[in-house]
């Protein structure tokens, strides 16, 4: 869906982005991860031509973006700015309706689509006429997201969309983010410097440093097959929690005991080990029913942890 080739941006002697190449598949969620100043925002802004590159090419859906006018290009790309970027003197409704107004949708259609998104993003109707400074940080982020989604673009670029939130609000929004049907259909490039967020939301992660890509791969690739010491140390502090998030229960299915099958279906084995562990807590259960390919097993907390450690040991010796 998106192909970036040897893309560079130099500001004088600063190589903000230095010859990066990557691809993002249709409906894939790619996370640009890295410390402050490594070139994440610059990369994102070159993809919607808010910044013109020094050299390199970008193709979206096979078309070179430099063969189109930036205005036409941006119609197919939703953009969520760092710190939401809402217009303070526009109401919530007006902020969300900016793109449809530009596209000259009729009033009824705009009203309907805005109402639909407000509902999907759990904003109340009363907030339609509110100004951004009358909303909480989390609500403002949702409005920013609604604004980016309103014309249903196939591609979404998100720059630290959850950056301003506390951890509790953040994990609540992460859960909503993953559940939202409109987002499942989109090809997304999202910037963050939060490793946990990258592991929770990304299909693949592109770890950057000093304008270059250090490693691009699935969360499990980065954890279990780091290309160098930089990758290893970047993930070191939170390693265990990240591993729980990078491994899915289906990955360790063969290591789980063949406990008696139960009649009911249970949780889908597609969930991560981390989310399995959370389910023990939220259901206050000592066993969970988990289903994989038409087989349901009753799995205990210890059994899940043991299988996970066996798997981890195996990966370490690959
Ligand atoms: N307009 C500009 N003029 C000069 N230098 C710039 C400009 N924009 C960015 N830079 C430099 O390019 C580098 C990359 O900036 P960029 O904003 O892409 O980083 P980032 O990874 O998004 O960082 P952060 O996590 O802090 O948002 C930085 O060193 C920055 O100072
Ligand atoms: Mg940035």
- Summarize pLDDT for 26-54 with one digit per residue, the tens: 999 999 999 899 999 999 999 999 999 99
Q: Which of 203, 220, 243 is the last residue of a domain?
A: 243
Query: How many residues appear in the chain?
Result: 318
Decide if pLDDT at 262 tops 80: no
Number of independent structural domains in the chain = 2
Q: Which of 223, 243, 263 is the last residue of a domain?
A: 243
Instruction: Report residue 317's pLDDT band, with 50, 70 and 90 as the boundaries.
Output: confident
Same domain (yes/no): 117, 169: yes
Contact 271, 312 (CB under 8 A): no
d(Cα 159, Cα 179) in Å, to the nearest integer?
Answer: 20
> How does pLDDT run across 122-151, given as a tens digit for each residue?
899 999 999 999 998 888 988 999 999 999
From residue 131, give the alpha-carbon distance in Å to each of 149, 220, 273: 19, 42, 41
Contact 268, 229 (CB under 8 A): no
> How does pLDDT run across 168-213, given as a tens digit for each residue?
777 778 888 888 888 989 999 999 988 988 998 999 999 999 999 9
Same domain (yes/no): 60, 206: yes
Residue of minimum CA distance from atom 5 in ligand 1: 11
Per the prediction, the chain carries an average pLDDT of: 91
Instruction: Report residue 58's pLDDT band, with 50, 70 and 90 as the boundaries.
Output: very high
Percent of the chain clearing pLDDT 70 (strictly above)? 97
| CATH number of the domain where residue 303 is located | 3.90.1280.20
φ, ψ (nearest 5 deg) of residue 300: -85, 160
pLDDT reported for residue 256: 92
Q: How far is the CA of 182 from the centre of ligand 1 (A)?
A: 31
Decide if pLDDT at 270 tops 80: yes
Tokens of 167: 């951890």
Q: Is 8 in the pocket of ligand 1 (CB under 6 A)?
A: no
Q: Which of 220, 243, 266 is the last residue of a domain?
A: 243
CA atoms within 13 A on the CB side of 151: 21
Same domain (yes/no): 81, 98: yes
Same domain (yes/no): 232, 251: no
Percent of the chain clearing pLDDT 90 (strictly above)? 67
Same domain (yes/no): 28, 141: yes
Contact 198, 205 (CB under 8 A): yes
Tokens of 34: 């890295």
Instruction: Report residue 165's pLDDT band, with 50, 70 and 90 as the boundaries.
Output: confident
From residue 191, give the alpha-carbon distance in Å to each of 47, 86, 109, 188: 13, 18, 32, 10
Nearest ligand for residue 207 CA = 1
Instruction: Report residue 278's pLDDT band, with 50, 70 and 90 as the boundaries.
Output: confident
Same domain (yes/no): 180, 275: no
Q: Is 37 in the pocket of ligand 1 (CB under 6 A)?
A: yes
Q: Which domain holds residue 281?
A: 247-316
CB count, 10 Å around CB of 14? Answer: 13
pLDDT reported for residue 121: 87
Tell me which of 18, 33, 40, 46 to substitute to probe ligand 1's pocket, judged by most ligand atoms within 8 Å of the beta carbon: 40
Decide if pLDDT at 166 tops 80: no
Instruction: Report residue 261's pLDDT band, with 50, 70 and 90 as the boundaries.
Output: low
Contact 201, 32 (CB under 8 A): no
Same domain (yes/no): 165, 297: no
Report the candidate in 141, 159, 138 with the shortest Cα–Cα distance to residue 36: 159
Instruction: Report residue 263's pLDDT band, with 50, 70 and 90 as the boundaries.
Output: low
The answer to whether the predicted template modeling score (pTM) of the entire model surpasses 0.85 is yes
> How does pLDDT run across 71-120, given as a tens digit for each residue?
999 989 999 988 778 999 999 999 999 999 988 999 999 999 999 999 98
Cα 292–chain centre separation: 25
| CATH number of the domain where residue 180 is located | 3.40.50.300
Residue of minimum CA distance from atom 7 in ligand 1: 11
Nearest ligand for residue 212 CA = 1
Instruction: Report residue 241's pLDDT band, with 50, 70 and 90 as the boundaries.
Output: confident
């Amino acid at each position: 869906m998106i192909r970036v080739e040897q893309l560079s941006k130099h500001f004088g002697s600063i190589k903000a982005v230095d010859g990066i190449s990557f691809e993002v598949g249709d409906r894939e969620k790619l996370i640009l991860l890295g410390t402050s100043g490594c070139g994440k925002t610059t990369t994102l802004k070159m993809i919607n031509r808010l910044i013109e590159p020094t050299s390199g090419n970008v193709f979206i859906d096979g078309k070179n973006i430099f063969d189109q006018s930036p205005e036409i290009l941006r119609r197919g790309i939703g953009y969520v700015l760092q710190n939401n970027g809402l217009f303070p003197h526009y109401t919530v409704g007006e902020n969300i309706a900016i793109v449809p107004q530009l596209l000259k949708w009729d009033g009824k259609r705009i009203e309907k689509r805005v109402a639909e998104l407000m509902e999907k993003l759990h904003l109340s109707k009363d907030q339609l006429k509110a100004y951004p400074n009358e909303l909480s940080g989390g609500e403002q982020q949702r409005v920013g997201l609604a604004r980016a989604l309103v014309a249903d673009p196939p591609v979404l670029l998100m720059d630290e969309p959850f950056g301003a939130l506390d951890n509790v609000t953040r994990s609540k929004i992460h859960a909503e983010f993953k559940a939202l049907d409109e987002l499942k259909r989109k090809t997304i490039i999202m910037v963050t410097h939060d490793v946990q967020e990258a592991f929770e939301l990304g299909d693949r992660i592109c770890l950057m440093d000093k304008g270059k890509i250090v490693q691009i791969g699935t969360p499990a690739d980065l954890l279990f097959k780091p290309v160098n010491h930089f990758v290893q140390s970047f993930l070191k502090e939170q390693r265990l929690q990240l591993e729980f998030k990078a491994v899915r229960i289906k990955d360790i299915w063969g290591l789980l005991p063949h406990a008696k099958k139960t009649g009911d279906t249970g949780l889908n084995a597609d969930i991560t080990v981390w989310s399995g562990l959370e389910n023990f807590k939220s259901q206050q259960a000592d066993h969970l029913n988990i289903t994989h390919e038409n087989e349901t097993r009753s799995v205990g907390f210890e059994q899940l942890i043991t299988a996970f450690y066996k798997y981890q040991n195996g990966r370490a010796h690959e």
